[in-house]
């Protein structure tokens, strides 16, 4: 494992998560009250004792850089590191033109370490994975490339790279975001798709990237260009995510792409089940992040003696809930609820002031939001749109960072 280097792609603009990505890159979006999306992949590597990590950043990276400095600083004395690398235009005056180009523009960083294996992972999925098990599978198979894969419903497969394999899980077909995805043999309702997590033999990676960079017709993307060519000429293995085991857990195969506002909201609702598919509490697989210096949450009765009611919810530190009802909701740091306010299936990212008597239904709020007393949101979509709020096709209402709502 000491001969393995990690390159994490953390520069995504996340346009489908707008307005949550209005001021930050997608990996910096808060999740589950006290985490950021990037924390999931970093915890996977750190808990796997793989501690030579570069994060490649690009769009609106300041919030991400601050978080990495606060939560993920490693001393260089041991040779381990977690370093954020901004887009530096090393290969010319251009931004990254695709996932493969992002790695190509930083290929000198890889060559300096002379690794045997290079892990290339995304940073915006919700899952747990012992990366060592995938690296061992890759080395044992002798593959040029190993792609991590999971199964998704066939109607969702068009959003991913769809994989075909033989009986030994060697890749025999690959199509990036196909219009008509091929289902699993014998199961027309499911497809095998790439999770965007790769382990490359370093020499194969160098050769593939240099050849791709010279191809003027390439999209310079792993899914569109590198993998479709490589599996035809080299041994490309597929690592079955369902074979990965997490110490201290039995249900470890949850994986969700939170590329849209609705999937982001759904992932939070998944956390609130009595037996959640994604477990936040596992002492053998801690989920590290930055915890601000705020006091414990306070759940209080109001001045009239009306008690607060909390049902199936996550409440973060610094919250103050006064005579309110919170049902199936996630509250980040420093959320204050006034007397008589009600939240139902909401995700409050943090630092929000929700006035007395307000009612929020299926609402996502970014940080720094203030809501006037007696305001209803998520009840009348046309009224929400008139206030400048984002309303999705699925009926979610999203409030951008720093907005003041209902103070007309």
Using DSSP bridges, classify how beta strands 161-165 and 171-176 pair: parallel, antiparallel or unpaired.
antiparallel
Which two three-digit tokens encode residue 41? 């992949």
Mean pLDDT of all residues in 111-124: 95
Mean pLDDT of all residues in 83-107: 83
The torsion defined by the Cα of 23, 25, 26 and 32, in degrees rounded to 10, comes to -70
Question: Which pLDDT value is given to residue 101?
Answer: 93
Question: Which pLDDT value is given to residue 74?
Answer: 80
- Torsion region of 220: left, alpha or beta (phi above 0 gives left; psi -120 to 50 gives alpha): left
* CA angle (39, 318, 377) in 5-degree steps: 85
Q: Annotated binding residues, as ranges?
A: 96, 161, 176-177, 194
pLDDT tens per residue across span 359-368? 999 999 999 9
pLDDT tens per residue across span 167-204? 999 999 999 999 999 999 989 999 999 999 999 999 99
Facing residues of 327 across strands? 311, 344
Question: Which pLDDT value is given to residue 92?
Answer: 64
**Cα 197 from Cα 205, distance rounded (Å):** 14
Question: Which pLDDT value is given to residue 94?
Answer: 73
What's CA 23's distance to the chain center, in Å? 17
Q: Give the contacts of 129 (CB within 8 A, at least 6 positions apart).
A: 44, 48, 148, 197, 241, 244, 246
Question: Which pLDDT value is given to residue 250?
Answer: 82
Name the band, by pLDDT with cuts 50, 70 and 90, for residue 91: low
**Cα 378 from Cα 107, distance rounded (Å):** 48
Question: Which pLDDT value is given to residue 90?
Answer: 65
Is 117 within 8 Å of 3 (Cβ atoms)?
Answer: yes
Name the band, by pLDDT with cuts 50, 70 and 90, for residue 301: very high
Q: Which residue, among 357, 360, 405, 356, has the nearest Cα to 378 in the 3D structure?
A: 360
What's CA 226's distance to the chain center, in Å? 23
Task: Give the pTM.
Answer: 0.94
pLDDT tens per residue across span 7-31? 999 988 788 999 999 999 999 999 9
**Cα 180 from Cα 289, distance rounded (Å):** 40
Is 226 within 8 Å of 101 (Cβ atoms)?
Answer: no
**Cα 252 from Cα 244, distance rounded (Å):** 7
pLDDT tens per residue across span 225-242? 999 999 999 999 999 999
194-204 b/e (C-beta count within 10 Å ≥ 16 → b): bbbbbbbbbeb
Mean pLDDT of all residues in 28-45: 97
Helix or strand or coil: residue 363? strand
Mean pLDDT of all residues in 112-134: 96
Q: What is the DSSP letter of 16?
A: G
**Cα 252 from Cα 146, distance rounded (Å):** 20
pLDDT tens per residue across span 47-57? 999 999 999 99
Helix residue ranges, H only, 320-375? none
What integer best gives the mean pLDDT of the chain? Answer: 94
Of the two residues 252 and 6, the one the predictor is more confident about is 6
pLDDT tens per residue across span 147-169? 999 999 999 999 999 999 999 99
Confidence check: pLDDT of 2 > 80: no
Q: Annotated binding residues for alpha-D-glucose 1-phosphate, as ranges?
A: 96, 161, 176-177, 194
What's CA 186's distance to the chain center, in Å? 31
pLDDT tens per residue across span 371-383? 999 999 999 999 9
Burial of 272 per CB tally in 10 Å (0-12, 13-18, 19+): middle
Confidence check: pLDDT of 305 > 80: yes
Question: Which pLDDT value is given to residue 267?
Answer: 97
Give the dihedral sign, CA 32/33/38/44: negative
């Amino acid at each position: 494992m000491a001969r393995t280097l990690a390159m994490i792609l953390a520069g995504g603009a996340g346009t489908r998560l707008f307005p949550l990505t209005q001021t930050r890159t997608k990996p910096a979006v808060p999740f589950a009250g006290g985490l950021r999306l990037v924390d999931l992949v970093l915890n996977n590597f750190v808990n796997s004792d793989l501690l030579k990590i570069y994060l490649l950043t690009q769009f609106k990276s300041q919030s991400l850089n601050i978080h990495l400095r606060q939560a993920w600083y490693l001393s260089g004395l041991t040779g381990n590191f977690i370093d954020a690398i901004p887009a530096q235009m090393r290969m010319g005056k251009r931004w990254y033109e695709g996932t493969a180009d992002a790695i190509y523009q930083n290929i000198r960083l890889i060559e300096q370490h002379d690794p045997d294996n290079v892990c290339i992972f995304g940073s915006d999925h919700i899952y747990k994975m012992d990366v060592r098990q995938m690296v061992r599978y890759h080395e044992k198979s002798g593959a040029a490339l190993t792609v991590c894969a999971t199964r998704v419903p066939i109607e969702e497969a068009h959003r991913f790279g769809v994989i075909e394999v033989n009986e030994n899980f060697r890749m025999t077909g690959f199509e990036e975001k196909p219009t008509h995805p091929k289902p699993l043999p014998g199961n027309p309702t499911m497809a095998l798709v790439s999770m965007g997590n790769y382990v490359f033999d370093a020499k194969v990676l160098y050769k593939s990237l240099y050849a791709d960079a010279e191809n003027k017709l390439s999209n310079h993307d792993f899914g569109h260009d590198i993998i479709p060519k490589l599996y035809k000429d080299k041994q490309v293995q597929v690592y079955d995510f369902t074979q990965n085991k997490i110490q201290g857990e039995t249900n470890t195969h949850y994986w969700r792409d939170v590329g849209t506002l609705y999937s982001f909201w759904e992932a939070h609702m998944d956390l609130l089940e009595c037996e959640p598919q994604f477990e936040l509490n596992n002492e053998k697989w801690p989920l590290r992040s930055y915890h601000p210096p705020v006091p414990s949450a306070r759940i209080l009765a109001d001045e009239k003696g009306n008690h607060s009611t909390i049902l199936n919810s996550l409440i973060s530190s610094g919250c103050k809930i006064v005579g309110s009802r919170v049902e199936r909701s996630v509250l980040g740091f420093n959320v204050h609820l006034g007397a008589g306010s009600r939240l139902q299936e909401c995700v409050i990212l943090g630092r929000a002031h929700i006035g007395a008597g307000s009612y929020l239904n299926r609402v996502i709020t970014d940080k720094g939001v203030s809501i006037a007393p007696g305001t209803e949101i998520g009840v009348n979509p046309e009224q929400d749109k008139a206030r400048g709020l984002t309303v999705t096709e699925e009926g979610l209402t999203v409030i951008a960072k720093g907005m003041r709502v209902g103070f007309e």
